[in-house]
Amino acid sequence: MSDARLIEALRARFPDAAARPVDSAPSIVIEAGRLREHLLFLRDVLHFDFLAFMTAIDRPAESKLEIVYRLFSYSERVALMVRALVPRSGAHVDTVSDIYRTAEWHERETAEMFGIVFTNHPDPRKLLLPDDLDGHPLLKDFTHPNMRRLPEVPS
C-alpha cells in the first residue's frame, strides 16, 4: 500500500483526522479519546500489526503533550505515525497494551517520563526511575536538586 493510499483510507474512515508529513512515514493526528478505535482499525483492517515504539513530546507553549505511536505493517511494508494530543496537566489516555503487547513497556516508560496516566494498564509500576523520585524528567520544566543543565548547543 502506498503512502497516498494509506492516507486516503484513513481520511475515508476518519474524515476529521489531520494528516501531515513528518518523516518518511505518513502521520495522522487523532483525538486522544478515539485512540483505541483508530488503532483497532489500523491493526484489524489496514494490517498494521506491529507497534515499533511510542513516546510523547512535551509542548508547554500549547499546554499539551503529544503522544506518538509508530506502527508498521509487515504485509504492506509501510509505516505510519499516529499522534494524539492530551492536556499537559492531568494527562490520561486509555491503554492500548491489549491491542499491541509492546505498548505495555512503552506506556510504563512514557508514564514515568511525562506523567501520562494510561487508564486500565495491566501493570502501572515504575519501570526505570526510583520510587521516591517526584516529577517527570522529560517534561521541559522538570528540575531536581542533583540535576545539572548542559549548555545549549547552537544550531
- Determine, yes or no, domain membership for 86: yes
- Determine, yes or no, domain membership for 67: yes
21 three-class SS = coil
Residues of the chain predicted below pLDDT 70: 20-23, 155
Count up the domains in the chain and report the number.
Answer: 1
Strands (E), 10-154: 18-19, 27-31, 50-59, 64-73, 78-87, 92-94, 117-119
pLDDT, residue 21, reads 59
pLDDT, residue 10, reads 86
pTM of the model: 0.81
- Determine, yes or no, domain membership for 37: yes
pLDDT, residue 8, reads 86
Full residue range of the structural domain in which residue 63 is found: 3-94
How many other C-beta atoms are found inside a 10 Å radius of the C-beta of residue 48? 26
For the stretch 67-93, pLDDT in tens is 999 999 999 999 999 999 999 999 999
pLDDT, residue 22, reads 53
Contacts of 136 (CB under 8 A, 6+ apart): 112, 113, 114, 115, 142
Report the CATH number that the domain containing residue 31 is assigned in CATH: 3.30.460.80
